[in-house]
């Protein structure tokens, strides 16, 4: 474990003080559901093997004590000098050699750790451990009958010798059985590779290391230790180790565990209380050495999953480390020719080339290591029993062994290892960094504060929204990075509260943003997903009045949004097209609020107005307004606010047509009653639909100004009482057009109190 990593604790009432949001699993890792743990079977297997060895060790220790204290100490003169004395002495020295080896490591490596067991002890040691294994069984067997037939020994001595040889024989038998059982450990090990979601050679090697890890725990901490040992704990310990190989395996295991349940829940529950490991993972994002490239990559992949429940305020500097990943975009930076000299230009190295070379060297080294491991597996691992049993040179008499071959084939299929998945363009460090930021921003409001403090983070993200033609970046990578950057900006611009205002201002202030977004919208080859995200970003930025005006001055943006909104052919093919049309409409609605310039651009497009009219129509021109009015009768909430707002503007712009539709359709009484009822029903305006009473009051005012006869209609429907109720329940919430969080935006120029006063005046209320 890395003791130099400090554990951070920040006590805040809104979230977990250990650095995790309230969405993170709160289960006690000690009480995790072992019945669902994929390593349960292997742990049981290890306990069985370890139990046999520990019982064997106990018998050996008892035999050593019995021989020295009882036999050699009490019956030394009575033992035959040519038989039992030397038998007992040999066994004593045999047990003494076992007991005084370092933690009995060499002994159980030989018997109970088949993989790599021969390398640490060598052939000489192997021979010694084998004139030892045989003696434990052979010596007691050779002496049992002579003891029974020897009449010179008294009863106590016979019993003592019988007990002694029985313990030694039991020890040797247990060692032999355990060795035989352990020989078939490849079955649960390979099965665990599949059930744990691991892949390839690294997956098998990781489980082999876990097998040794769990067995070591069993031998050191007790037979019940595997109940506290899990793959998640092993992965965390591997990441915290000083071995780069183990760190890579630990990260690969974590990355696999975070993809599926229940391993994801098990790992997160442990990381929730072990923030030292989380802090170390985050610190590894700053490991920029070429030899640590793989570790840094997998640290970023794991962090992208952890970020969904992570509060970075508990890990100071974490966002800045994530931002540093954005610099690994493999794009050489061009300096200003007015500021840079030739020698400075020559000294600059292409980061992509160096990274690529280093990565190639590391990949070659990794491949070589894997090939070496594979060759070692072929020579040493008992797992190759399946292959050797079915190899051509071993198939003598195969016709008589078909049943065994079929059985072995079934075992082979059951224990087969899925192929390792290759890395994709989504595994680029900048793409992972932006994925982390998206998750952090959507997890906790405090994370957004930390994001806003990160130096140069927004400019780095905006830079990826530009089309790059550099030959070092392939098109597929370019699209992934572009998509990632748009997702980040869409997430950050949708944040509510004061921190949302700060983030939107910082994003809108970037001088390259609108230019890049315009290019994406103007590119006919860009996907609907890209254009949908651009439209969402523009919609969110339009919350600010100054930004709204700046966007409205770019005619191409308005034109492309209108084109996306009226494009019915592209929207019918998939859901992305439908969403693009909806978001484009939202963006246009936001951009036209209190913007004469944007409205004039739209009105100058006759095709757009024609299509918009067609969208409103049901059958023909006579039903243009009836469609809106009829829907108002049944709508509620936000839909009612939008529809009444539309009908009020129609009444204001073309009052004659509006009143004619009400009268000819004989729905004027129903419509008036609906407005009064809706006004009374919405006594408590909310951030969800803050302007519902405002638009109703505007509708009442425009209708009464258009035709004074509507004043009597409203009076008959008790509008006076409704206006009095509104006057008594005025809210500051109603002075804003929309809310993000608890912060209101687009404050209306006319307060709602003025609208109430105007309506009372028109209706002649006292």
What single-letter DSSP state applies at residue 554? -
**Cα 186 → chain centroid:** 31
How much is the pTM? 0.73
Q: How many CB atoms lie within 10 A of CB 703?
A: 28
Give a yes or no: residue 639 inside a domain: yes
Give the CA diameter of the chain. Answer: 135
Can you tell me the distance from the alpha carbon of 225 to that of 403, in angstroms, rounded to the nearest whole number? 39
Give the DSSP H or E segment for 217. helix 200-221
| Dihedral sign, Cα of residue 539, residue 543, residue 546, residue 547 | negative
Give a yes or no: residue 585 inside a domain: no
Q: Are 463 and 327 in contact (CB under 8 A)?
A: no
Cis check: omega of the bond before 262, within 30 degrees of 0:
yes
Q: What are the DSSP E strand ranges found in 81-164?
A: none
Give a yes or no: residue 485 inside a domain: no
Last residue of a domain, one of 183, 211, 230: 183
Can you tell me the distance from the alpha carbon of 144 to that of 161, in angstroms, rounded to the nearest whole number? 9
Confidence (pLDDT) at 418: 76
Number of domains in the chain: 2
Percent helix, strand, coil in the chain, to 5, is 70, 0, 25
Give a yes or no: residue 127 inside a domain: yes
- CA distances for 64 relative to 88, 125, 668, angstroms: 9, 22, 107
The encoded tokens of residue 54 equal 């520990």
Q: Are 232 and 283 in contact (CB under 8 A)?
A: no
Give a yes or no: residue 755 inside a domain: yes
Residues of the chain with pLDDT under 70: 1-18, 21-36, 71-89, 91, 93-156, 222-227, 329-401, 404, 408, 410-415, 467-473, 568-574, 613, 615-627, 665, 766
Digit-coded pLDDT (tens) for 632-675:
888 888 888 888 888 888 888 888 888 888 877 678 888 899 99
Give a yes or no: residue 228 inside a domain: no
Confidence (pLDDT) at 182: 79
DSSP per residue over 651-687, as a string? Answer: HHHSHHHHHHHHHHTT-HHHHHHHHHHHHHH--S--S
Can you tell me the distance from the alpha carbon of 466 to that of 516, in angstroms, rounded to the nearest whole number? 5
Confidence (pLDDT) at 300: 94
Confidence (pLDDT) at 7: 33
Domain span at residue 709 reads 618-766
Give a yes or no: residue 468 inside a domain: no
The encoded tokens of residue 89 equal 């002495």
Give a yes or no: residue 495 inside a domain: no
Strand partners, 310: 20
Last residue of a domain, one of 137, 162, 183: 183
Last residue of a domain, one of 154, 183, 212: 183
């Amino acid at each position: 474990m890395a003791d130099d990593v400090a554990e951070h604790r920040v006590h805040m009432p809104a979230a977990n003080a250990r650095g995790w949001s309230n969405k993170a699993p709160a289960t006690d890792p000690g009480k995790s559901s072992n019945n669902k743990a994929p390593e349960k079977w292997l742990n049981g297997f290890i306990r069985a093997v370890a139990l046999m060895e520990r019982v064997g060790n106990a018998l050996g220790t008892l035999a050593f004590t019995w021989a020295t204290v009882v036999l050699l100490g009490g019956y030394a003169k009575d033992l035959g000098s040519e038989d039992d004395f030397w038998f007992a002495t040999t066994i004593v020295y045999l047990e003494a050699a076992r007991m005084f080896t370092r933690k009995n490591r060499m002994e159980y490596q030989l018997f109970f750790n088949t993989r790599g067991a021969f390398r640490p002890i060598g052939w000489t040691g192997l021979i010694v451990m084998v004139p030892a294994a045989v003696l434990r069984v052979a010596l007691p067997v050779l002496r049992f009958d002579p003891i029974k037939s020897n009449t010179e020994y008294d009863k106590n001595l016979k019993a003592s010798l019988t007990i002694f040889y029985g313990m030694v024989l039991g020890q040797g038998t247990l060692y032999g059985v355990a060795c035989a059982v352990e020989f078939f450990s490849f079955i649960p090990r390979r099965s665990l590779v599949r059930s744990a979601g691991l892949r390839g050679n690294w997956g098998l090697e990781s489980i082999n290391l876990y097998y040794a890890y769990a067995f070591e725990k069993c031998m050191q901490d007790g037979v019940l230790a595997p109940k506290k040992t899990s793959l998640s704990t092993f992965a965390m310990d591997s990441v915290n180790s000083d071995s780069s190989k183990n760190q890579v395996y630990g990260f690969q295991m974590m990355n696999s565990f975070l993809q599926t349940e229940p391993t994801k829940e098990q790992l997160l529950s442990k990381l929730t209380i072990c923030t030292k490991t989380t802090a170390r993972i985050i610190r590894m994002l700053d490991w920029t050495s070429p030899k640590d490239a793989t570790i840094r990559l997998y640290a970023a992949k794991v962090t992208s999953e952890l970020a969904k429940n992570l509060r970075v305020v508990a890990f100071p500097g974490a966002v800045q480390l994530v931002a540093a990943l954005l610099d690994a975009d493999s794009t050489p930076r061009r300096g200003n020719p007015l500021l840079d000299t030739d020698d400075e230009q020559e000294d600059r190295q292409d980061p992509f080339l160096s990274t690529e070379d280093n990565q190639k060297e590391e990949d070659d080294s990794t491949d070589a290591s894997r090939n070496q491991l594979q060759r070692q597996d072929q020579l040493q691992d008992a797992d190759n029993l399946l292959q050797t049993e079915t190899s051509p040179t071993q198939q003598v008499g195969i016709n008589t062994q078909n049943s065994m071959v079929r059985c072995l084939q079934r075992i082979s299929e059951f224990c087969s290892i899925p192929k390792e998945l290759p890395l994709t363009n989504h595994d680029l460090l900048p793409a992972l960094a932006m994925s982390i930021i998206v998750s952090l921003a959507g997890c906790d409001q405090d994370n957004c504060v930390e994001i806003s403090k990160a130096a140069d983070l927004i400019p780095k993200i905006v830079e990826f929204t530009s089309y790059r033609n550099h030959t070092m970046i392939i098109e597929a990578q370019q699209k992934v990075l572009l998509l990632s950057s748009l997702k980040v900006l869409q997430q950050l611009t949708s944040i509510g509260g004061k921190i949302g205002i700060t983030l939107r201002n910082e994003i809108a202030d970037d001088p390259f943003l609108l230019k890049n977004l315009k290019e994406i919208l103007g590119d006919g080859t860009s996907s609907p997903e890209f254009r949908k995200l651009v439209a969402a970003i523009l919609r969110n930025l339009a919350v600010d009045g100054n930004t709204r005006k700046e966007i409205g001055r770019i005619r191409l943006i308005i034109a492309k949004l209108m084109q996306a909104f009226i494009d019915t052919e592209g929207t019918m093919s998939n859901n992305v097209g439908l969403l693009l049309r909806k978001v484009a409409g939202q963006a246009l609605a936001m951009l036209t609020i209190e913007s004469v310039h944007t409205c004039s651009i739209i009105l100058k497009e006759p095709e757009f107005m024609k299509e918009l009219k067609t969208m409103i129509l049901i059958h023909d021109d006579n039903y243009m307004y009836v469609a809106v009015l009829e829907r108002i009768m049944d709508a509620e909430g936000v839909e009612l606010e939008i529809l009444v707002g539309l009908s009020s503007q129609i009444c204001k712009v073309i009052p004659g047509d509006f009143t004619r539709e009400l009268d000819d359709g004989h729905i004027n009484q129903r419509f008036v009653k609906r407005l009064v009822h809706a006004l009374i029903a919405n006594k408590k305006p909310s951030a969800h639909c803050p302007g519902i009473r405002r638009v109703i009051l505007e509708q009442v005012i425009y209708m009464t100004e258009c035709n004074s006869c509507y004043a009597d209609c409203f009076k008959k429907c008790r509008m006076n009482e409704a206006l009095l109720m509104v006057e008594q329940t005025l809210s500051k919430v109603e002075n804003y057009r929309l809310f993000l969080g608890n912060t209101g935006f687009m404050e209306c120029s006319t307060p709602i109190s003025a609208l109430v006063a105007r309506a009372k005046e028109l209706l002649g209320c006292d």
